[in-house]
Chains A and B, each alone.
Chain A
Amino acid sequence: MELSLVLLALLGIFALIVLLITIGEWFEDVESDMGSQSNPNSQVQLAPQVGVLHRFFNKAIAGEPVTHGTNGVIGATLFTIFWWGLKWHPALATAVAAALTMLFHMTLSTTAHVGRITSANVFGQPLYYDVILTQLPLIASHAFVMTSAFVAVSYLFYNLFFAALDAVRLGDYLGYPIAIPLLGLVLGITAGTIGSSTGDVHYGAEREFQHAAYGEGIPMGLHGYITVRAEVGCRTSMDVAYFCAKYGGPMTGLTYGTIIMLDNVRLFVGNVLQNVVVNVAIGATVIVVLMLLNRYLEVWARKKFGPYA
């Protein structure tokens, strides 16, 4: 096989990696919105203290990066045992490892939710049995998709580094020589960081305060007074997921996918041309373009929305 064909095959695997990362991160954000996991959780916790009783799921016992780092490392360790130790097929090992991690995640979610809500019990917040029963399967299924995506990506990155196709070492172009459990940990931590930095703003600023005016930041005086009524009946975390899956979730997935793509494309091009200066030049260009795009967005938004006073 020619070198160009090998590189084409490599790019195909790389496209799969970016796709998996994008989908995994999308589900990660929706899962964290559904469980009020990240910073918007402060309002869910504050609500009973200002007299607003709610039916939200609240499992924010740890920060998002730590939780998903833990999920990643548990999933990737189990995967390594099944794949490397017991010689299972990687696809089967990924599914079983993600399923076992999901059980761990369900346990954590339940204890965290029950602990958080009972701590708000002094303010009159009841612990609803049906909230746990209806939302836990959804949280579990999202965690399953997320963990399996990150475990699969860890496997692909690690194996790419040591794989050879027609005597061409793929590791010379892409992949990381880092053990799969550590890759699971670091991919999970980064996923949590991105999810909490980008997608959660859509939940915290918009969905949690839907009765506040669109086009204004949430003033301090409104903190705690979250929206607890839905289109029909009481709002639950399921309604949050339904809303955030339309904009916050996909944008978060896009963020992580873009980061992995841009970073590895510059590594790939630098390796193909065997020149690290190209590597640095592509990186610098990407950063300058992003800065200009951000400036354009800022000017556009200020012109479109106008001043407040």
Chain B
Amino acid sequence: MIDPSLLVMLIMVAVGGVLICAGVFFMPVGGAPAAMSTATGIATGCEMMAAGAGITGLLMAAALYSQPSYIVIINAGISSGIMMCVTMFVANLIVVFGKGVPPALATVDRDPITRENVRPYVTPGTVGHGVPTASYVSGFIGAFLGGVGGALTFIPVLRIALSKALEQPIDLFGVVPGVMSNLWHYHVPFFVLAGICALAMYFINANIAAYSIRGVIEGWWDPKFKKLPKTALACFIASLVFGTLLLLLFSNETFVKALESLARSGGVRP
């Protein structure tokens, strides 16, 4: 019989995958053309942006691990948002003062948020440059969703691993109890397991989303954004498969015994 908390973990991982996928669609991915101020957005690829922003959220999730889950999730999202907002702001500083071009959108005539006419500010022969206000807001939403998605994988994996190792009842949402919140060096492998799983989720889902985006996307008004529902379904299935692997791992007696001996013996094999 499968532990119900493992099924909850499966659902959290699958929902996390969908959120990461949606996050990538919201991010203003500029790819290589953005590095030459030939396209709107940030000059890097989908996976790297999703992972880079998500990692900041994961570090925050690790630091706040003993708090209730919803607090960890919100804070992870905000950390990813801060990372993305600072990066986009400095990218704009470099575009404005390093190249002397104003931020501009190309797929629409009017900025979806400020309603300004942006068409005259696009250099002829290019498809926009920099990160204009609408892309900036879209990028923040994307990073927030990505951070939340990563935390949704990190929290259940960490809590289940810690609870199984210390032979305590699994609580996926509340405050982490006293014994578990007193960490020492030999508890670190549990965080590494959770961190690697969350990192893998970023690369899996951002990669699937990258196939739909194919290089450049400006934000939620971009025609490519319409592909989100189908891609999200693909990400849901892929994350479900990944979650099932985790479920099998945690149902495996040998693995759980290894976790227990790790927590009991301080990492030294008896």
Contact = CB atoms under 8 A, between A and B. Distances in A.
A194 B87 contact: yes
Contacts of A293: 89
Contact of B86 (A43, A262, A309): A262
Contact of A307 (B94, B121, B196): B121
Secondary structure class of chain A's binding surface, majority of residues? helix
Nearest to A173: B63
A219 interface: yes
Contact of A190 (B55, B92, B192): B55
B131 A177 contact: no
Contact of A254 (B67, B74, B90, B195): B90
B83 A38 contact: no
Nearest to B52: A193
A255 B56 CA distance: 13
A298 B82 contact: no
Contacts of A267: 60, 63-64
A218 interface: yes
A297 to B, nearest CB: 6
Interface in A257-309: 258-259, 262-263, 267, 276, 279-280, 283-284, 286-287, 290-291, 293-295, 297-298, 300-302, 304-305, 307-309
Interface residues of A, number: 81
A159 to B, nearest CB: 10
Nearest to B93: A251
A171 B128 CA distance: 46
Interface string A159-192: 0011000000001001111110010001001101
Given A177-B65, A182-B195, A219-B124, A284 B78 contact: yes
Contact of B94 (A64, A199, A286, A300): A199
Interface residues of B, number: 81
B87 A287 contact: no
A177 B97 contact: no
A287 B77 CA distance: 12
A37 to B, nearest CB: 11
Interface in A213-249: 214-223, 247-248
Contacts of A182: 192, 195-196
B123 A217 contact: yes
A62 B32 CA distance: 14
A247 B87 contact: no
Q: Interface centre among A65, A199, A300, by most B CB within 10 Å? A: A65
Contacts of B75: 276, 279-280, 283
Contact of A283 (B81, B90, B188, B195): B81
A190 B133 contact: no
Interface string A61-87: 001111000000000000000000000
A162 B51 contact: no
B96 interface: yes
Interface stretch (B99-107, B165-173, B244-252): B99-107
B14 interface: no
Interface in B20-34: 31-32, 34
Q: Interface centre among A216, A219, A262, A301, by most B CB within 10 Å? A: A301
B99 A205 contact: yes
A308 B43 contact: no
Contact of B99 (A201, A252, A290): A201
Contacts of A287: 78, 81-82, 85, 140
Interface string A33-52: 00000111011000000000
Given A205-B37, A259-B56, A220 B126 contact: yes
| Pairs A-B, 8 closest by C-beta atoms | A219-B125, A193-B52, A307-B120, A204-B35, A39-B35, A283-B78, A217-B37, A215-B100
11 contacts: A38-B35, A42-B35, A190-B56, A194-B87, A204-B37, A258-B86, A259-B82, A276-B67, A276-B75, A298-B102, A305-B100
